[in-house]
Amino acid sequence: MTSDGDRPGGFIRLRADLHTHAIGDGRFGANTADLVARHLDGALKAGLDVIGVTDHDDLRPGLLALEEVERRNLPLFVLAGMEVTTDDGHLVVLGLQAPLKPWRSMIETIALARERDEETLLIVPHPFFASLREQTGIDAIERLNHRYGDFDVTRDDIAVIASSDAHSAADLAANPMRTLLDVTEKSWSGVIDAIRNRRATIVPAGCCRGD
Ligand SMILES: [Zn+2]
Ligand SMILES: [Zn+2]
């Protein structure tokens, strides 16, 4: 299952869901590995090429997902991250190698994520408030969030995306929209480059299958 053959303009088109929860509202525990495995199977069933595993204030499920795709050699590109609770709203951070602490201001959380040795991507999810819709210092913002609806965001300075915010494997397939990334290579730097250059488009789930 790959869309590598589909290269309009020389780009590889990847169907992505960048904000999902493998353990939902639950806590990390004995069943987490099973939930992560089911989540990845669900992502493949939903036809995704790229998935962000971004549990609430917990990086461990994302790191487990990375191990699991490698162990099973799954045709899925995992971005490990977390949805960090800040004093000013949630922030999705992708590409983390070590967790970020919750409950700081949004500005401080963004600064700490940017100071990391590893390069991170920062997404404002479900922007309920005007301050979030206008947030600076980020790479992308959700217009569509399948749990919370259409936030009618227009920004021409950053990527505007659609996420499932899935809290279970079943939620992944239920999301009718995807974020299509046009990457030059299927790698973390390829994903960063696509998002920072706004080669991210909101498309219906059935769109753009190269296979
Ligand atoms: Zn949230
Ligand atoms: Zn979420």
* CATH 3.20.20.140 correct for 8-204: yes
pLDDT in tens, 23-56: 999 999 999 999 999 999 999 999 999 999 999 9
State the DSSP string of 12-33.
EEEEEEEEE-SSTTS-SSTTHH
pTM, two decimal places: 0.95
Q: What does the angle CA 196 – CA 209 – CA 75 come to, to the nearest 5 degrees?
A: 75
What's the 157 CA to ligand 2 centre distance in angstroms? Answer: 23
Q: Cβ distance 41 to 185 under 8 Å?
A: no
Interatomic CA distance for residues 171 and 42, integer angstroms: 9
| Cα 37 to ligand 1 centre (Å) | 22
- For residue 25, give both structure tokens: 């509202």
Residues near ion ligand 2 (Cβ under 5 Å): 83, 165
Measured CA to CA, the distance from residue 53 to residue 43 in angstroms comes to 10
**Residues 38 and 169: beta-carbon distance below 8 Å:** yes
Please give the distance, rounded to the nearest whole angstrom, from the Cα atom of residue 165 to the centre of ligand 1. Answer: 8
pLDDT tens figures, 187-208? 999 999 999 999 999 999 988 8
Give per-residue pLDDT as tens, 60-107.
Answer: 999 999 999 999 999 999 999 999 999 999 999 999 999 999 999 999
Does residue 6 contact residue 210 with C-beta atoms inside 8 Å? yes
